[in-house]
Amino acid sequence: MTPSSSACSAVTLVGGAGFIGHHLALALANAGHRVSIVDSLMINNLYAIHAGGFVHERYRPFLEMRRRLLAERGIDTIVADACDYHQLSRILAALAPRIIVHLAAVAHIDRANKDPWSTFRHTLQTLENAIDIAAALKIEQFVFLSSSTVYGDFTAPVMDETMHCNPKGIYGALKLSAEMILSEYGRLKSVPYTIIRPMAAYGARCVSGRVIQQFIEAALDHRPLQLRGDIGERIDFTHVADIVAGIQAALGNERAMGEVFNITAGHSRSLHELVQLIGQEVPGLTVERQARDDQRPLRGTLSIAKAERLLNYRPRWQLAEGVADYVGWYRSINWEIANDARQAHAAEGKVEAGHV
């Protein structure tokens, strides 16, 4: 049974105020479900700006849009740190969700490698807290958002869920560790669980510095696109709406219990193709090549055959359509005008120039 066919579907998203999380919350609320979010807003979110974190000031409106959209849909956002077991326990007991979706993490490979302690804390400690509480509450399903980085360097052009995982770097290693912890908790504590592995999400209101976001912003700012590595490298770019659809298809679905699913577009594209597609929307862009970070795994296409078979998952967004839509969204919020104003102030010595 899926949430859309259930008479009662209370879903709590732990770490749900982020990029994928807020899109998922809105989709679930629009489908008529009772949705709540528990999030500290400290990781890649609103407080990161106030604390002078890596999130740029220009992203403040993105985060305000998230907050406004969630509030308009009546989605409760409880500001709390999921690392605090007792606080999280009280909150989840009061919310009494049927389903918990765990999204809490430092969702950035570079930041994870630079700050392993924080990444460990917000990936594994939050997960251990949430799954232990979920077991006590006897919830119906625990969904964990993992990552394609658990595979490490792809050993085949198309990777399915049965293939060996050999992650590179802190981020991928902790995601795989979390999967193993969840599977053992599920077995020992009888918690039905599902693991989702997305790749290269993109779409409106992202502040994570993902590659499509970086490229589009550079193009609209008339800056060179900073391409790290081989322009022929292939990535399974996935629109956030498709990832959300895949998660929704797994919620409450008996065929998803105890399973791992790749949820992507199911078709990789090269960085060269990505640059060409952005160039069609923003003519005159230039590219600067940089050395590749060897902590980033070499990727390709993830097989979605299992999700298609068991979840009836059907991604809808082609990359050309997604890039055009994403550029259109940036223009709808006057990103270029905001950049022109920033540069004008910089020229007058009012702000620092050239920092993004």
Q: Which CATH number fits domain 8-202+238-266+302-316: 3.10.105.10, 3.40.50.720, 3.40.350.10, 3.40.50.300?
A: 3.40.50.720
Among 205, 1, 251, smallest CA distance to 101 is for 251
Average pLDDT over residues 274-286: 96
The percentage of residues in the chain with a pLDDT greater than 70, rounded to a whole number, is: 85
Average pLDDT over residues 310-324: 98
Among 77, 88, 107, 81, smallest CA distance to 16 is for 77
CA 265 – CA 4 distance, rounded (Å): 23
Q: What is the pLDDT of residue 53?
A: 52
Q: What is the pLDDT of residue 115?
A: 67
- DSSP-assigned letter for residue 149: G
The percentage of residues in the chain with a pLDDT greater than 90, rounded to a whole number, is: 72
Instruction: Inform me whether the pLDDT recorded for 146 exceeds 90.
Output: yes
| pLDDT digits 0-9 by tens, 301-315 | 999 999 999 999 999
Q: Which amino acid is at 353?
A: A
Domain extent listing, the chain? 8-202+238-266+302-316
Q: What is the pLDDT of residue 5?
A: 42
Q: What is the pLDDT of residue 223?
A: 95
Q: What are the residues whose beta carbons fall under 8 Å from the beta carbon of 248, sequence distance 6 or more? A: 2, 3, 4, 24, 27, 28, 31
DSSP H helices in 37-80:
46-50, 60-72
Mean pLDDT value across the chain: 88
Of residues 9 and 133, more confidence is placed in 133
Report the first-to-last Cα separation within the chain, whole angstroms.
Answer: 46
**Pick from 2-16, 173-187, 227-241: least confident:** 2-16
Instruction: Give residue 27's pLDDT band: very low, low, confident or very high (50, 70, 90).
Output: very high
**Pick from 8-17, 18-27, 82-91: least confident:** 8-17
Local structure of 302: helix, strand or coil = strand
Instruction: Give residue 345's pLDDT band: very low, low, confident or very high (50, 70, 90).
Output: very low
| pLDDT digits 0-9 by tens, 36-70 | 999 998 766 555 554 455 556 788 889 999 999 99
Cut 0.85: pTM above it: yes
| pLDDT digits 0-9 by tens, 95-119 | 999 999 999 887 666 666 676 667 7
How buried is 94 (Cβ within 10 angstroms: 0-12 exposed, 13-18 middle, 19+ buried)? exposed
| The residue to which tokens 């299992």 are assigned | 306
CA 39 – CA 211 distance, rounded (Å): 25
- For residues 100 and 14, the answer to whether their CB atoms sit within 8 Å is yes
CA 146 – CA 260 distance, rounded (Å): 9
Q: What is the pLDDT of residue 293?
A: 77
| The residue to which tokens 């400290």 are assigned | 42
